[in-house]
Amino acid sequence: MPSPVLERRTAGALAWHTDLELLERHGILVAFSERTGGTSVGPWSSLNLAAHVGDDPTSVDANRLRLLSALGLEETAERLTCAEQVHGARVTRVTPERAGAGASARGRRPIPGTDAMITALPDTPLMMCFADCVPVVLVAVRPVRTVAVAHAGWRGALAGLPDSAARALAAAAGCPTSSLLAYVGPHICRECYEVGDELASQFAAAFGNIVAAQGRVDLGAVVSEGLRAAGVPTERQAGGGTCTTHPAGRFFSYRAEGVTGRHGALVVVL
């Protein structure tokens, strides 16, 4: 498997970032959505995928279906699996009983209290929601195709969530972490992410050289370094290279907007 690459695709006003070769060769679909092409209005305009941010649940479900349809996944809509993200470090295995948790904004609740999900179940898209935090998708292509998605804000990054997710995925798939593929999706960039002195010093203590001057933190670099420390080589990591805060309008940004929607990170074994 050559180095993973994320490229931008569109269908009408919808846009997402994906690895076409991973899909063609291994039947695994990765997607990081943008915010355009949906039905939501106001601060959630327009492809808001999250049920917990005050948007109309009917719009959320319509948006999810639009994205799944654009990805060719409409048949899996009832198995879409979501989590109640809490900025923690818990990694949850999605078993058959959990598949479809939170699929509808009006249905049964998402998997409670977890910021990473893992599964080898086919046709079971895992999705997490983001507005500035770092989305991480991890993939094992053999011996058992197994995937993970993780939500890393500053708490998760400091707590080593991406590293824990990589180790848990490798254990579940039966492969070394060095053979995983990692996709680090769109997130707030270093220039836009200014933090207080106390948090800056916590990052400096844990990651030293990654913290830039004036207390700005590169969360993507922190995540990438965590993955590398867990054994995932840098050349097996793909970055989005896109900021969620600037320029405005492509993604949702909690830091810039406060009340706003969420874009998604999705991965599925087909």
Query: Count of residues binding Zn ion (CB under 5 A)?
Result: 5
Q: How far apart are CA 118 and CA 170, in angstroms?
A: 10
Specify the residue, 94 or 219, whose C-beta has the smaller distance to Zn ion.
Answer: 219
Asked if residue 20 lies in contact with residue 7, where contact means CB atoms within 8 angstroms, the answer is yes
- Position 114, amino acid: T
Q: Is 192 in the site for Zn ion (CB under 5 A)?
A: yes
CB nearer to Zn ion: pick between 177 and 242? 242
Q: How far is the CB of 199 from Zn ion (least distance, A)?
A: 18
How far apart (Å, rounded) are the C-alpha atoms in residues 208 and 151? 22
Query: Binding to Zn ion (CB under 5 A): which residues in 227-256?
Result: 243, 245-246
The CB-of-263 to Zn ion minimum distance in angstroms stands at: 15
Task: Write down the least CB distance from residue 245 to Zn ion, Å.
Answer: 4
> In whole angstroms, how close is the CB of 193 to Zn ion at the nearest point?
7
Does residue 264 contact residue 67 with C-beta atoms inside 8 Å?
yes
Strand 181-184 to 146-152 pairing: unpaired
Burial of 28 (0-12, 13-18, 19+ CB in 10 A): buried
Under the criterion CB under 5 A, does residue 189 sit at the interface with Zn ion? Answer: yes
Stretch that binds Zn ion, among 80-88, 166-174, 187-195, 199-207 (CB under 5 A): 187-195
- Residues lying near Zn ion in the complex (CB under 5 A): 189, 192, 243, 245-246
